Amino acid sequence: MSSRRDHAKADATRTPLADLAPSLPTLPARSDAEPIGDPETQPGPNDDMLPESSATMPTSSPEMDTTPANVRSRPGARKMSDRSRVPIVPRTIAEMQAGTYETNIVETDAIEAAERAEAKPEPAPLFVSRQTLLITTFVPYAIVVLIPAIVDLISRVGGVGGTVRLVIDFVSIAVGGLFGLFLLLRNWRVAFHDAPTELHPISILALWEQRASGERRDGWVMGSLAVIAVFIVILLFSVVLNIIARGFSALYAIPYLFVALFAKAVGAVMFVGYLQRGLFSSQTSTKATFLTGLLYGVALAIANTLTFLASGVANPVTIITSFVLVSLAVGFAIAWFHLRSGSLLAAVAFQLLLLVLGIAV
């Protein structure tokens, strides 16, 4: 009775996998006699068998920066290595742990200053001597200035009428200006082996592009553009006023004004263009500018003195003295303006602006 109860209980608790047990292969039992071996004599895992990981690499303890604060590199400084010294990247783990590699820190500002110094253009070479440079400046300028003054003096002494004398002065100024321009271009090519491209109107566009970039990112560029614009506006305004006020006589007054401006511009280019550029090649910019302003001021003073003496004005001493001082100031101002703005066309426009405004220097 009990055996039947036991069989019924066994059938109730029997699982489906139990029916598969007789058909499964049996694994051989491990022999207890197999030697396991001494743990101390068993080979350990090889380093090559372990995966490399930054977490398992030895790290060096952080070092405190003991450099004084006044000699520490600023944040964001560009680090560069000197190839002749130890490289900044360690080549082995031992170098990394020992800290034998070296990092050279170079300040970015010093590098940029050195790059600007290297990129600074050298002055144009001068192919004539300084004596020749001075002679080829004063002789053409004397032709431009003396021919009209001498012709006007001869006309006054000969009692030539006002209209005829005006025509003679117009022709003499035009001839003197053209001859002076011819000598200027010839001497320029001999002295510098190039042409005065700074006088080309395209230089105004180059000056406009420099207003926000380049070496002269300051008020001098905008000031140069303003001087050129003001000169053009006032010149057009003067032409309109001459037409309204003079009527028919404006037919010769306006050409006379343009010829006088042309001769004055040629004389200015001889000094602040030709002479100043030649002095830049042999002297510092400041010294060359000072010498150019002094010589140009003296030349303007002599030209004004001859003009007043030929015109026979009353009390010439006071007028000549005042105009000598004004001529020196104008000479220095134009030379310095050319140095700071870097535009010969703007410097000449500044000279002509003074003439249009009535400062006849």
Name the residue ranges covered by the structural domains of the chain: 122-356
Distance CA 291, CA 336 (A): 11
- The whole-number mean pLDDT for each consecutive block of 10 residues of the chain, a chain of 361 residues, reads 57 54 52 50 53 52 53 50 50 66 53 53 79 95 90 84 85 94 94 87 79 62 89 94 86 90 94 94 91 94 81 73 89 92 90 86 69
Start-end of H helices in the chain: 2-12, 93-98, 108-119, 130-157, 162-192, 202-209, 219-246, 250-268, 276-280, 285-311, 316-341, 344-356
DSSP code at position 105: B
Q: Which two tokens stand for residue 93?
A: 């783990």
Q: What's the burial of 3, exposed, middle or buried (CB within 10 Å: 0-12/13-18/19+)?
A: exposed
Predicted confidence at residue 59, as pLDDT, reads 54
Q: What's the burial of 59, exposed, middle or buried (CB within 10 Å: 0-12/13-18/19+)?
A: exposed
Distance CA 112, CA 119 (A): 10
Instruction: Please count the residues of the chain.
Output: 361
Provide CB contacts within 8 A for 189, sequence distance 6+. 195
Global pTM value: 0.65
In sequence order, the β-bridge partners of residue 43 are none
Distance CA 151, CA 252 (A): 19
299: number of Cβ within 10 Å: 21
Residue 249 corresponds to which amino acid?
S
Taking a C-beta distance cutoff of 8 angstroms, is the pair 323, 332 a contact? no
Distance CA 170, CA 148 (A): 8
Q: Which two tokens stand for residue 216?
A: 């002269």
DSSP code at position 122: P
Distance CA 323, CA 312 (A): 15
Residue 266 vs residues 4, 225, 336: alpha-carbon distances, Å: 139, 20, 18
309: number of Cβ within 10 Å: 13
Q: Which two tokens stand for residue 4?
A: 């039947």
Gyration radius of the chain's alpha carbons: 46
Q: Which two tokens stand for residue 49?
A: 């068998």
Intra-chain end-to-end CA distance of the chain, in Å: 147
Q: Position of tokens 């000169």?
A: 231
Predicted confidence at residue 276, as pLDDT, reads 94
